[in-house]
Structure 1
């Protein structure tokens, strides 16, 4: 069993917390765009409150541990590992509660190259516990606006985890998909459930638009978020995201394995 101390040390050594690769400039740019209600950083969330840049900086300092000094405008950003650990405990608690009643869970990621393994391990454990791991609307086309214009992707599932891939991508079902912040994939998945006359998931697990898009539509959602993803923390503050875990979401995929073990153990889902 991975101890809290060992996980804290790993978070710092792997750059998941402490000084992270996300730059202060990137974070502040995201706060500025969020305050301007730019859909690229809202991630499907429609904030109820008015959020200024200073409001967002205070929120992110509270939820992530970034510097609250508005004059600190360059260099690397920082995540407090104690906040990460506390949020992982809350994340595991929600997984455990849904697993105990064998609820239905939808997992999806906009970071498949980094986080697919983390979510897939959760999907395997939830399925083994008797939960329904949902895979609705597989193959559905989703048109997403990117910096290169509108591009069409297909909704797919790998080991029970939703992602999007380009239609011409070979090896569907095994190759990882595309990076996206869009809430459109989760909307397509939830629409697929509704059209099939099936109930919505008891819990949505993921990142980016998967969490904010689901939370905005009234589904309980938990997920991971970096310092330049203020939408998940705003959603948490406003009550539409149950748990947002602050950590660097772009490190090597194998660095998330200790987090998997920790979460599954805390959720009483270890196999």
Structure 2
């Protein structure tokens, strides 16, 4: 069994928490864009009230442990591993509750290169516990505005986890999927499920737009968020997102495996 102390050490050694690769400049840029209402950073969340940059810095200091000093504008950001562990416990509690009631669940990621394995292990465990892992709108086209212009992707599922791919990359051995922050994939999946007469998810698990887009529509949503993803933490503060785990979402995929073991054990879902 992986103890909290051992996981804390791993978080720091893998730079999932502590001093992380995300720079202060990147985070501050995201906070400025969020405060300006840029949809690329809102990723499906309605801010509700005005969130200025200083308010966002304070929120992220409370949620993640980044510096609350608005005058600090450079260097690497910091995530408090204690906050990560507490959020992982809350995340595991929601997973366990979903498993006990054999809920319908939807999982999706905008970070398939890094996080697909993490979510796939959760999908496997939830399915084994009697949950229905939903896969609505498979193959459906989703048009997403990127920094390179409008791009068309296909919604796909790998081991029960939704992601988007450029057309023509579904064959084995191709890239596992595209990186995206957009809430459009989850909106597409939820709309397709509703059009088909259900079932609809009782819990949505993921990151980026998968969490924010689902939470804003009233679905229970939990997921992972980096220091330059203020929308997830605003959603949590406003009550539209249930749990956000602060961590670096861009390290090597193998580094998330101890988190998987810890979460599944805490949720009483270990195989």
Does TM, scored on the shorter chain, surpass 0.5? Answer: yes
Aligned equivalent of 2:154: 154
Q: Deviations over 1:103-131 (max 9, x none)?
A: 00000000000000000000000000000
State the distance in 2 between where 1:152 and 1:173 align.
21
Q: Deviations over 1:10-62 (max 9, x none)?
A: 00000000000000000000000000010010011111121000100000000
Contact 1:156-1:173 at 8 Å conserved across structures: no
SS of equivalent residue, structure 2 residue 125: helix
Alignment of 1:89-104 (within 5 A): 89-104=89-104
| 1:197 matched to 2:207 | no
SS of equivalent residue, structure 2 residue 237: helix
State the distance in 2 between where 1:55 and 1:252 align.
32
Aligned equivalent of 1:136: 136
Give the Å deviation of 1:173.
9.5
Give the Å deviation of 1:174.
7.3
Contact 1:158-1:174 at 8 Å conserved across structures: no
Alignment of 1:154-233 (within 5 A): 154-171=154-171, 175-233=175-233
SS of equivalent residue, structure 1 residue 270: coil
Alignment of 1:70-89 (within 5 A): 70-89=70-89
Q: Deviations over 1:102-161 (max 9, x none)?
A: 000000000000000000000000000000000000000000001111000000000000
Q: Provide the TM-score with structure 2 as the length reference.
A: 0.99
Give the Å deviation of 1:199.
3.0
Contact 1:30-1:229 at 8 Å conserved across structures: yes
Give the Å deviation of 1:96.
0.3
Aligned equivalent of 1:9: 9
Distance 1:269 1:178, change over 3 A: same
Contact 1:157-1:173 at 8 Å conserved across structures: no
State the distance in 2 between where 1:164 and 1:41 align.
19
| 1:59 matched to 2:59 | yes
Q: Deviations over 1:44-100 (max 9, x none)?
A: 111112100010000000000000001110000000000000000000000000100
Give the alignment's Cα RMSD to 1 decimal: 1.0
SS of equivalent residue, structure 2 residue 251: coil
The 4+ residue runs of structure 1 with deviation greater than 3 A are 172-175
State the distance in 2 between where 1:173 and 1:244 align.
32
Q: How many residues align?
A: 271
| 1:25 matched to 2:25 | yes
